[in-house]
């Protein structure tokens, strides 16, 4: 319970002082009880025993019976961003940020779909303006999913907008983004795909392979050249074959690659989720929602999910028979490492951003705290 709660539908500025008491802290390797978490100026400043009494200027949350976790980070979520990308306004992003916070997400990458350059430029410019005007937002940047994908593995991507990489085309978008683009999903086996990989590495963008029919050998060669990540393992790629392991085999085998997975029990069978986590290890796996608020196209093809990331954490505990702290890692520190922001986000440590989610035993979110500000109410 929050002392002196604010009115509904507001982000509460806690005047730089906030203490969470009596909760169960979800740390990277264990759960700790009887600890208090102190925040000031948007940072975690102390983790102490409950016997330490906060000064009176601290607002206090009593998290008794609840878990106190690092805020969740979703690196692949479409949401309102995909639905309105060509006519996106800042109010759309504001609504999306609120929806993400309700699921305990303190950081996310708004993810595009394959569209003409002008539509992508519109979305990029709007996102850049929004982040500039809202420095405490949970929008961390953009993930470009396409348009340089393999038409034979396009999934729900619009075939009319898939195209061959041309540097001038992408330079316009990168220039407009001014550093906001963090990940790009592409198919390196397509024409100019290896050139695109070099382009992404040069510009400091995380290169992710997806919607691809690359062979195991092709993926291995790309990994040597800077490929880092595999987008929604199993989906929009050929199945594993004993004579051609392909992208799935490479994702599981190559230590240089991490992968993300949609743990809704529909995109990937729970047994497959368990298998790949046990094979790769928790540290190599990232949970994503790929949320688009719809499931299938009229022809029956899967078109993203309606999954929220807190539900994915709950699901993967059951699917893979793993502890809460391991499931949380796949939605916090692992994506933070991929984005290179693990020094300030992804775990409960002194000096890191005060990005925190408080949830119950069913992973139902009670409070989301973004840079020391409580987003309320959530329910």
Active site residues: 290
Are residues 260 and 284 in contact, defined by beta-carbon separation less than 8 angstroms?
no
Q: What are the angstrom distances between the C-alpha of 160 and each of 6, 108, 212, 292?
A: 48, 28, 17, 20
Alpha-helix residue ranges (DSSP H) falling in 53-89 = 79-83
Between CA 203 and CA 182 the distance in angstroms is 10
For helices 270-280 and 309-320, the axis angle rounded to 10 degrees is: 80
3-class secondary-structure state, position 212: coil
Between CA 54 and CA 19 the distance in angstroms is 7
Integer-rounded Cα Rg, in Å, for the chain is 20
Between CA 248 and CA 268 the distance in angstroms is 13
Which of 231, 138, 152 shows the shortest CA–CA distance to 189? 152
Between CA 251 and CA 219 the distance in angstroms is 9
Between CA 318 and CA 137 the distance in angstroms is 32
Sign of CA dihedral 133, 139, 142, 145: negative
Between CA 124 and CA 222 the distance in angstroms is 27
Kind of pairing between the strands at 67-70 and 258-262: unpaired
């Amino acid at each position: 319970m929050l002392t002196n709660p604010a009115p509904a539908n507001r982000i509460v500025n806690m005047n730089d002082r906030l203490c969470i008491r009596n909760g169960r802290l979800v740390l990277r390797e264990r759960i700790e009880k009887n600890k208090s978490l102190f925040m000031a100026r948007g940072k975690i400043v102390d983790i102490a025993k409950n016997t330490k009494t906060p000064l009176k200027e601290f607002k206090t949350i009593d998290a008794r019976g609840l878990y106190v976790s690092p805020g969740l980070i979703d690196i692949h979520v479409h949401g309102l961003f995909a639905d309105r990308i060509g006519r996106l306004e800042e109010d759309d992003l504001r609504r999306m940020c609120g929806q993400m916070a309700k699921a305990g997400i303190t950081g996310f990458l708004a993810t595009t779909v394959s569209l003409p350059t002008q539509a992508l430029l519109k979305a990029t410019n709007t996102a850049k303006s929004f982040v500039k005007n809202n420095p405490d937002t949970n929008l961390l940047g953009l993930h470009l999913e396409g348009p340089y994908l393999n038409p034979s593995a396009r999934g729900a991507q619009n075939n009319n907008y898939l195209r061959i990489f041309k540097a001038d085309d992408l330079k316009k978008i990168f220039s407009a983004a001014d550093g906001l683009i963090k990940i790009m999903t592409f198919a390196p086996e397509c024409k100019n795909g290896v050139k695109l990989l070099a382009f992404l590495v040069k510009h400091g963008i995380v290169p992710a392979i997806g919607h691809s029919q690359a062979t195991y050998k092709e993926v291995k060669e790309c990994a040597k050249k800077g490929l880092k990540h595999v987008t929604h393992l199993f989906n929009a790629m050929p199945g594993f074959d004993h004579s051609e392991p392909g992208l799935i085999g490479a994702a599981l085998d190559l230590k240089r690659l991490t992968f993300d997975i949609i743990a809704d029990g529909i995109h990937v069978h729970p047994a497959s989720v368990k298998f790949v986590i046990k094979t790769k290890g928790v540290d190599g796996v990232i949970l994503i929602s790929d949320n688009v608020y719809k499931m299938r196209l009229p022809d029956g093809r899967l078109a993203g999910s309606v999954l929220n990331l807190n539900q994915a954490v709950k699901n993967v505990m059951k699917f893979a028979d793993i502890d809460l702290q391991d499931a949380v890692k796949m939605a916090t520190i692992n994506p933070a490492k991929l984005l290179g922001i693990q020094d300030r986000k992804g775990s409960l440590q002194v000096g890191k951003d005060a990005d925190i989610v408080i949830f119950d035993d069913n992973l139902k979110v009670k409070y989301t705290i973004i840079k020391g500000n409580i987003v309320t109410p959530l329910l």
